Chains A and B, each alone.
Chain A
């Protein structure tokens, strides 16, 4: 019994930081509708800034003063990020801001590396709270009790701010109807900046408060972002009490998980999230998103067209060049090209549901990694021949997509995205923690192709055939009735339903096709590398491919492929530099701000403009 109580107390203490970070994310989303991927980075910044300040400031006052100052500092950094990066893109197409926030993650990662170095920092103990208190004979760290006491105070303070102050009233009003708040004379731009700063400050506070328990390291941003999204989604996007309840549930469950079912800790919260979303699609205290409320902004689209003679010539020339490449290129170039093709197919599969279907999946890596793992597991455990295992990859990924899609397709918008993220994390944690089957983070190794492919050039041709075949297959579907129906459901679901199209079923099928194609890419990948690790299933992998699609251009057919080639190429070159993340992050932010239609989209607009000028001059 006493042990039980102590466990609950530990869980409640852990909930403190989680709630702080989650409440910030929830606030930001509620008002600005931005899903701020960089929120974990503010948490990490909070930890590092906190450590530094605590070093400088001595004693009791220093410790708590440092925590408050950290909140302030991170809040200011948040305001800066909002003004410089997000303001220019509020009018860009929906969810395009995501990419910008991802750029921010990369920039902050490298800045933190530059300033604080790669060493993990131990957090200082809170002065006067070093030991433990015995509660029914069980030792409970004093600092835990303080955290447990602080959390309700913070919840109350936030509740007071939101419900009892003018700023809070404006924030709640803006959550409901931004335009009307503007029409009543409130400058939304500053309201947004204020909310973003507050949300960032909360994340920073969370980072500083957990220092005595966790310290500071460079992986904190990605480590927390998964749990934070889970908490916000379980609680209901935009609901503070929801975030609090969810943070407590997740933290307490997690502590019990560690005690009783250590293999399950990572899976547990995603299982809880999936169950909650299936029962209550908008979270415990969240509200239904009104359709069309946050509609797509941006220029009207042009009908897709198959390439004309000139376009086809370019594609054929490109393919010919790729086919002839082994004659001139060395092994290094060929290996790079294999990576490019694999990534291009992966990106094309996401682009298929994102561009044509309007389905933004945050968890597409589940299918890429799922395919890779399916093939690898067959080879590793049953010595299945490579050919057979390879074919199993797309099938397994397609089946996985059918299973996941069955739950996800019922939701739309951000909730759809979040549920895909939850499921992909579920798959990731399986790979990570089911060690007896997957060998955890040791990965599955020695997964080499059959003898006839076991050299760079033959495998290059194999990749070229499979990758290009997959991409052409997806392109063909886009031009087929099925692809048109998918696009119809995106353009106007109401009209599509009124003309007999079962929009959800079309989306479900498309989701499965996209999953299978990602699995195909995963199949090629695993045999090209000879191994697969849980990292292929990580959130970061899902984000990478999402960014590639946005960078290439969502509304252009070639977007995914061009974006993938661009990113793989740039990354290969950049990663030779020490601070490549910083440069890549700035590059991403620059593309988002300068070329909101993506690379292909912007090039096309430029091309149209040039032709227009030429025509004018011809006259």
Chain B
């Protein structure tokens, strides 16, 4: 479904992604693991073309993404949840969801506001509240719900467990498993190995923008040296 071929991305002068390649199949839930600064967020932004790769290819369902503006990438069915949440703090919960709304698309689950309120009951209670009045955990829920309003076929979640309370993290894990059950393909970047193991099928470990491991968690457990070398454990 998603294919990255030898991409190189830069942030100004900093060479962040160094010849990164991997694939994600339809229906998979994949964890992108690595330490802070390893290039996880940049990988997501490079897929979205928010940080366009200087070389290499990104393909989604057989179509080339490289060089497209971000909104086209989103319209093709990739939903992006940024790590710093970036909800519209002056807008209410309902308005935030409205910004994310896109027409239904084939081959992807379709969401309505009421369905999403079913998944995120906290948001339902606060539907008329402005973004800035919400806690970090609620904001995180809102940014996921907002992205789902675009009925994406592939969801990119950048560090969903970062900086939120453990109970909310647990709720998040349930949510992701629910999304998987709906047939959504998901890529999650994480530093929290336990969270990743609980919700994903496969782990890709990157370090300094290079892929260091790609396999199941069973395989990863068979190689504790990889875990020790590249994850902040």
Touch between A and B in complex, CB under 8 Å?
A: yes
Best-surrounded residue of A173, A184, A188, A300 (most CB of chain B within 10 A): A184
A188→B146 CA distance, assembly (Å) = 18
A181 touches B99 (CB 8 A): yes
A2→B75 CA distance, assembly (Å) = 61
Q: Mark B2-32, 1 if CB is under 8 A from A, else 0.
A: 0000000000110000000000000000000
B91 touches A172 (CB 8 A): yes
- B residues in contact with A179, CB < 8 Å: 50, 70
- Is A182 positioned at the interface, with any CB of B under 8 Å from its CB? yes
- Is B115 positioned at the interface, with any CB of A under 8 Å from its CB? no
A172→B95 CA distance, assembly (Å) = 10
- Is A572 positioned at the interface, with any CB of B under 8 Å from its CB? no
Q: From B48, B71, B96, give the contact of A186 (CB < 8 A).
A: B71
- B residues in contact with A173, CB < 8 Å: 88, 91, 95-96, 99
Q: Output the nearest chain B residue to A188 by Cβ-Cβ distance.
A: B71
| Inter-chain contact total with CB atoms closer than 8 Å | 63
- Is A177 positioned at the interface, with any CB of B under 8 Å from its CB? yes
Q: Can you sample 9 A-B contacts with CB below 8 Å?
A: A172-B91, A173-B95, A176-B88, A177-B86, A183-B48, A184-B100, A185-B75, A185-B150, A189-B69
- Is B161 positioned at the interface, with any CB of A under 8 Å from its CB? no
- A residues in contact with B147, CB < 8 Å: 184
Contact of A182 with B70 at beta-carbon distance under 8 Å, contacts A166-B98, A170-B99, A177-B86 already known:
yes
- A residues in contact with B89, CB < 8 Å: 176
Contact of A186 with B99 at beta-carbon distance under 8 Å, contacts A172-B90, A173-B88, A176-B89 already known:
yes
Q: Output the nearest chain A residue to B48 by Cβ-Cβ distance.
A: A183
- B residues in contact with A183, CB < 8 Å: 48, 50, 70-71, 73-74, 80, 82
Q: Output the nearest chain B residue to A185 by Cβ-Cβ distance.
A: B74
Task: Write the residues of chain A forming the contact surface with B, with a CB cutoff of 8 angstroms.
Answer: 166, 169-170, 172-173, 176-177, 179-189, 300
Tell me the minimal C-beta distance from A290 to chain B in angstroms.
12
- Is B208 positioned at the interface, with any CB of A under 8 Å from its CB? no
Tell me the minimal C-beta distance from A192 to chain B in angstroms.
12
> Which chain B residues (141-156) contact chain A, with CB distance < 8 Å?
146-147, 150
B146 touches A184 (CB 8 A): yes
- Is B129 positioned at the interface, with any CB of A under 8 Å from its CB? no
Tell me the minimal C-beta distance from B200 to chain A in angstroms.
23
Tell me the minimal C-beta distance from B48 to chain A in angstroms.
6
A184 touches B150 (CB 8 A): yes
Tell me the minimal C-beta distance from A286 to chain B in angstroms.
13
B99 touches A182 (CB 8 A): no
A169 touches B95 (CB 8 A): yes
Tell me the minimal C-beta distance from A441 to chain B in angstroms.
46
A184→B99 CA distance, assembly (Å) = 7
- A residues in contact with B91, CB < 8 Å: 169, 172-173, 176
Q: From A169, A184, A300, give the contact of B74 (CB < 8 A).
A: A184
- B residues in contact with A187, CB < 8 Å: 69, 71
- A residues in contact with B88, CB < 8 Å: 172-173, 176-177, 180
Q: Output the nearest chain B residue to A176 by Cβ-Cβ distance.
A: B88
Task: Write the residues of chain B forming the contact surface with A, with a CB cutoff of 8 angstroms.
Answer: 12-13, 48, 50, 69-71, 73-75, 80, 82, 86, 88-91, 95-96, 98-102, 146-147, 150
Best-surrounded residue of B71, B91, B95, B147 (most CB of chain A within 10 A): B71
B75 touches A169 (CB 8 A): no
B90 touches A176 (CB 8 A): yes
A177→B88 CA distance, assembly (Å) = 7
Q: Output the nearest chain B residue to A287 by Cβ-Cβ distance.
A: B90
Contact of A182 with B90 at beta-carbon distance under 8 Å, contacts A169-B95, A169-B98 already known:
no
Best-surrounded residue of B12, B95, B147, B150 (most CB of chain A within 10 A): B95
Tell me the minimal C-beta distance from A267 to chain B in angstroms.
36
Q: Output the nearest chain B residue to A190 by Cβ-Cβ distance.
A: B71
A182 touches B86 (CB 8 A): no
- B residues in contact with A177, CB < 8 Å: 86, 88
Tell me the minimal C-beta distance from A422 to chain B in angstroms.
27
B90 touches A185 (CB 8 A): no
B80 touches A169 (CB 8 A): no
Tell me the minimal C-beta distance from B74 to chain A in angstroms.
3
Tell me the minimal C-beta distance from B36 to chain A in angstroms.
21
The 5 A-B residue pairs whose C-beta atoms are closest, nearest first, are A185-B74, A182-B70, A173-B99, A182-B71, A180-B86
A187→B74 CA distance, assembly (Å) = 10
Tell me the minimal C-beta distance from A299 to chain B in angstroms.
11
- B residues in contact with A172, CB < 8 Å: 88, 90-91, 95
Contact of A182 with B82 at beta-carbon distance under 8 Å, contacts A173-B99, A176-B88, A176-B90 already known:
no
Q: Output the nearest chain A residue to B147 by Cβ-Cβ distance.
A: A184
- B residues in contact with A189, CB < 8 Å: 69
- A residues in contact with B12, CB < 8 Å: 300
Q: Output the nearest chain B residue to A165 by Cβ-Cβ distance.
A: B98
Tell me the minimal C-beta distance from A297 to chain B in angstroms.
12
Q: Output the nearest chain A residue to B103 by Cβ-Cβ distance.
A: A185
A188→B13 CA distance, assembly (Å) = 27
Q: Output the nearest chain B residue to A179 by Cβ-Cβ distance.
A: B50
A182→B78 CA distance, assembly (Å) = 12
- A residues in contact with B73, CB < 8 Å: 183
